[in-house]
Amino acid sequence: MIEMKDVYKTYPNGVLAINGISVKINQGEFVYIVGPSGSGKSTFIKMMYREEKPTKGSIVINGVSLENLKEQEVPFLRRKIGVVFQDFKLLPKLTVYENVAFALEVIGEPPRNIKKRVLDVLDLVQLKHKARFFPDELSGGEQQRVSIARSIVNNPSVVIADEPTGNLDPETSWGIMRLLEEINQRGTTILMATHNKEIVNTIRKRVIAIEDGKIVRDETRGEYGLYD
């Protein structure tokens, strides 16, 4: 479970990005985070994987309080949380296989476990046949599937996706959604910040809407709302 209590975030330049958020997200939920541009969606999710720290308030993920987490413990948190970005963030000089394997190597996974695990997740995202390709030899949708494979290769309990379909055409975006739903059906919590109205209104899930750094709406089977 993810629990935020009275969280505030002011950036060093004085911008108040999160203005008092409390929320609970249960294991296995699929949650869309929506809201206008600049409303605080990315800041909200960045605090969950400790890319940003709250100025005030507490965040507890699966019983681990992020407040008391020491810098050297952050990699342990990142094992429990997979992250997917709009611009994929693959390493250009590594192959598809190596990009995914790297996520296991950095956490010291024994080499004998790595090969099977990487091939299993590449199979899940249907890219086993492109394991030796480099990122610039793949389409945008394929690159996003590699980045999703990388995000789940450690078996995290949560996957956080910041506009995962933002750079993709509509048809490719539906494919990415099917994959995220499949991962969710295996028990992984998914948090997805998105501007994709059509997806939110078609694949209905919990919707948390953020405006001016506050939650203004939290609905079990919500709609996108009137944002651009």
Q: Given the complex with ligand ATP, which of 17 and 158 has the nearer CB atom?
A: 17
By CB under 6 A, which span of 9-17, 64-72, 143-151, 180-188 interacts with ligand ATP? Answer: 9-17
Q: Is 164 in the site for ligand ATP (CB under 6 A)?
A: no
Q: How far is the CB of 112 from ligand ATP (least distance, A)?
A: 40
Q: Given the complex with ligand ATP, which of 11 and 76 has the nearer CB atom?
A: 11
Distances (CA, A) of 49 to 85, 129, 195, 206: 13, 31, 21, 20
Q: In the block, which residue shows the tokens 């429990």?
A: 80
Q: Which amino acid is at 129?
A: H
Q: How far is the CB of 222 from ligand ATP (least distance, A)?
A: 17
Q: Given the complex with ligand ATP, which of 45 and 153 has the nearer CB atom?
A: 45
> Residue 4's beta-bridge partner residues?
23, 59
Q: How far is the CB of 209 from ligand ATP (least distance, A)?
A: 11
Residues 195, 166 contacting (CB under 8 angstroms) = yes
Q: What is the C-alpha to C-alpha distance for residues 212 and 54, in angstroms, rounded to an integer? A: 16
Q: Is 170 in the site for ligand ATP (CB under 6 A)?
A: no
Q: What is the C-alpha to C-alpha distance for residues 182 and 173, in angstroms, rounded to an integer? A: 14
Q: Is 76 in the site for ligand ATP (CB under 6 A)?
A: no
Tokens matching residue 38 = 């600049």
Q: Given the complex with ligand ATP, which of 135 and 222 has the nearer CB atom?
A: 222
Q: How far is the CB of 37 from ligand ATP (least distance, A)?
A: 3
Residue numbers 37-66 binding ligand ATP by CB under 6 A: 37-43
Q: What is the C-alpha to C-alpha distance for residues 149 and 143, in angstroms, rounded to an integer? A: 10
Q: Is 35 in the site for ligand ATP (CB under 6 A)?
A: yes
> Residue 3's beta-bridge partner residues?
24, 60
Q: How far is the CB of 18 from ligand ATP (least distance, A)?
A: 8
# of chain residues touching ligand ATP (CB under 6 A): 12
Q: How far is the CB of 102 from ligand ATP (least distance, A)?
A: 26
Residues 65, 4 contacting (CB under 8 angstroms) = no
Q: Which strand (E) or helix (H) includes residue 178? A: helix 170-185
Q: Is 91 in the site for ligand ATP (CB under 6 A)?
A: no
Residues 176, 145 contacting (CB under 8 angstroms) = yes
By the criterion CB under 6 A, which residues form the site for ligand ATP? Answer: 11, 13, 15, 17, 35, 37-43
